[in-house]
């Protein structure tokens, strides 16, 4: 049975209490840059030298205000290398104004409408027997699983992304850096 992601998160956060907050008291660096907990998702992503393509895409899609808002959000943030691995010309095509709807769909398939740290994701994966469906704001369903100690996400096209840097705490949520751009089925 698939559990409701947000409900499970709320229960996990309530049960974990102070231990949960202590585990996330410091932020990892991303691309050598400090990530500040008092800054929001867009501010920190803009400071990351390995997320320039993602930031450009967020701007072009008109998602800056949304992802700077209260949230909470969990963003699975593909690196510049992840975007570069797409077929040649894909990024340039997606950044064209006439492709804004498709770009928005792809980007919002990387966003969950709850703050979910890696320990909670791992717990949901374990509770669900090794895989947990994650509903995104873009209407995509990702399958979260474990590969050893690493969380992976499989998109609707069967591509697998690994979380390479987890638990980058933000004022309005959390970022998990991933190595693959997640795509919707269509």
30 with 51: CB under 8 angstroms? Answer: yes
Looking at CATH, the fold of the domain delimited by 5-12+33-178 is given as FAS1 domain (2.30.180)
Q: Look at residue 13 in the predicted model and tell me its pLDDT.
A: 40
Sequential DSSP letters for 28-57:
--BTTB---TTS-HHHHHHH-TT-HHHHHH
Nearest to 62 by CA among 81, 42, 43, 47: 42
- Express as a percent the part of the chain with pLDDT over 70: 87
State the pTM of this model.
0.85
Q: Look at residue 25 in the predicted model and tell me its pLDDT.
A: 62
Q: Look at residue 27 in the predicted model and tell me its pLDDT.
A: 87
Q: Look at residue 18 in the predicted model and tell me its pLDDT.
A: 37
Q: Look at residue 33 in the predicted model and tell me its pLDDT.
A: 86
Q: Look at residue 186 in the predicted model and tell me its pLDDT.
A: 74
Task: For residues 89 and 21, give the distance between their C-alpha atoms in angstroms, rounded to a whole number.
Answer: 42
Question: What burial class does residue 57 get, using C-beta atoms within 10 Å of its C-beta: 0-12 exposed, 13-18 middle, 19+ buried?
Answer: buried
Stretches where the chain sits below pLDDT 70 are: 1-25
């Amino acid at each position: 049975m698939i559990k409701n992601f947000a409900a499970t998160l709320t229960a996990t956060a309530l049960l974990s209490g102070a231990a949960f907050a202590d585990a996330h008291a410091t932020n990892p660096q991303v691309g050598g840059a400090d990530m500040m907990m008092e800054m929001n998702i867009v501010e920190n992503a803009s400071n990351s030298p390995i997320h320039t393509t993602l930031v450009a895409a967020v701007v072009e899609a008109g998602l800056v205000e949304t992802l700077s808002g209260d949230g909470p959000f969990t963003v699975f943030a593909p690196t510049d290398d992840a975007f570069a691995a797409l077929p040649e010309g894909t990024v340039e095509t997606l950044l064209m104004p006439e492709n804004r709807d498709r770009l928005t769909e792809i980007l919002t398939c990387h966003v969950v409408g709850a703050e979910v740290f890696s320990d909670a994701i791992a717990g949901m994966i374990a509770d669900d027997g090794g895989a947990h469906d994650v509903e995104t704001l873009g209407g995509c369903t990702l399958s979260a699983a474990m590969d050893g100690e690493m969380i992976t996400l499989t998109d609707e096209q069967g591509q697998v992304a690994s979380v390479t840097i987890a638990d980058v705490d933000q004022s309005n949520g959390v970022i998990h850096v991933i190595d693959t751009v997640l795509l919707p089925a269509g």
